[in-house]
Amino acid sequence: MTAEVLSESLISTLPGHTYVDENIFRAEQERIFEKMWFCAVLAADLDKAGVYKTVQVGRESVIINRTRKGEIRAFYNICRHRGVKLCMEESGEVNRAFQCPYHAWTYDLEGKLIAAPNLTKMPDIDRQKYGLVNVAVREYMGYIWVCLADEPPSFEEDVMGAIEERLGDLRAIEGYDIAHLSLGRRIKYDVKANWKLIIENFMECYHCATIHPELTEVLPEFADGLAAQYFVGHGAEFGADIKGFTVDGSEGLDVIPSLSEDQDRRYYAITIKPTVFVNLVPDHVIIHRMFPLAADRTIVECDWLYLPSVVESGKDVSASVELFHRVNQQDFDACERCQPAMGSRIYAKGGVLVPSEHHIGAFHDWVNDKVGDVVPAS
Question: Which residues make up the interface to ligand FES (CB under 6 A)?
Answer: 79, 81-84, 100, 102-105
Q: Which residue is nearest to Fe ion (CB)?
A: 331
72 binds, options ligand FES, Fe ion, none, Cβ within 5 to 8 A by partner type: none
163 binds, options Fe ion, ligand FES, none, Cβ within 5 to 8 A by partner type: none
> Which 8-state DSSP code applies to residue 77?
S
Cβ distance to ligand FES smaller for residue 131 or 282: 131
Q: How far is the CB of 208 from Fe ion (least distance, A)?
A: 6
Cβ distance to ligand FES smaller for residue 79 or 135: 79
105 binds, options ligand FES, Fe ion, none, Cβ within 5 to 8 A by partner type: ligand FES
Cβ distance to Fe ion smaller for residue 201 or 263: 201
331 binds, options ligand FES, Fe ion, none, Cβ within 5 to 8 A by partner type: Fe ion
Cβ distance to ligand FES smaller for residue 77 or 298: 77
What separation, in Å, do the N-terminal and C-terminal C-alpha atoms of the chain show?
20
Name 178's Cβ contacts closer than 8 Å, sequence gap at least 6. Answer: 141, 142, 278, 285, 287, 305
Q: How far is the CB of 304 from Fe ion (least distance, A)?
A: 17
Cβ distance to ligand FES smaller for residue 6 or 125: 125
CA distance to 140, 149, 275, 306, per residue, from 182 (Å): 14, 30, 21, 5
Q: How far is the CB of 114 from ligand FES (least distance, A)?
A: 13
What's the CA gap between 250 and 359, in Å, rounded? 33
The H or E element spanning position 310 is: helix 308-312
Q: How far is the CB of 373 from Fe ion (least distance, A)?
A: 32
Q: How far is the CB of 107 from ligand FES (least distance, A)?
A: 10
The neighbour count for residue 202, using CB atoms within 10 Å, is 20
The neighbour count for residue 261, using CB atoms within 10 Å, is 6
Cβ distance to ligand FES smaller for residue 101 or 340: 101
From its phi and psi, is residue 15 left (phi > 0), alpha (psi between -120 and 50) or beta?
beta
CA distance to 130, 199, 254, 302, per residue, from 278 (Å): 39, 12, 19, 10
* Backbone phi and psi for residue 279, each to the nearest 5 degrees, phi listed first: -120, 125
Residue 200 interacting with Fe ion (CB under 5 A): no
Cβ distance to ligand FES smaller for residue 84 or 334: 84
Residue 331 interacting with Fe ion (CB under 5 A): yes
Q: Which stretch binds Fe ion (CB under 5 A): 54-62, 127-135, 250-258, 331-339?
A: 331-339
Q: Which of 255, 246, 254 is nearest to 318 (CA)?
A: 246
Cβ distance to Fe ion smaller for residue 32 or 205: 205
Q: How far is the CB of 61 from ligand FES (least distance, A)?
A: 14
307 binds, options ligand FES, Fe ion, none, Cβ within 5 to 8 A by partner type: none
Q: Which of 34, 82, 36, 35 is nearest to 60 (CA)?
A: 34
297 binds, options ligand FES, Fe ion, none, Cβ within 5 to 8 A by partner type: none
Which residues are 108's β-sheet partners? 97
102 binds, options ligand FES, Fe ion, none, Cβ within 5 to 8 A by partner type: ligand FES
Could you write out the DSSP letters of every residue in 200-261? HHHH--TTHHHH-HHHHHHSGGGGGT--GGGSTT--EEPPTT--SSSTTS---SPPPTT--G
Q: How far is the CB of 237 from Fe ion (least distance, A)?
A: 18
Binding site for Fe ion (CB under 5 A): 331
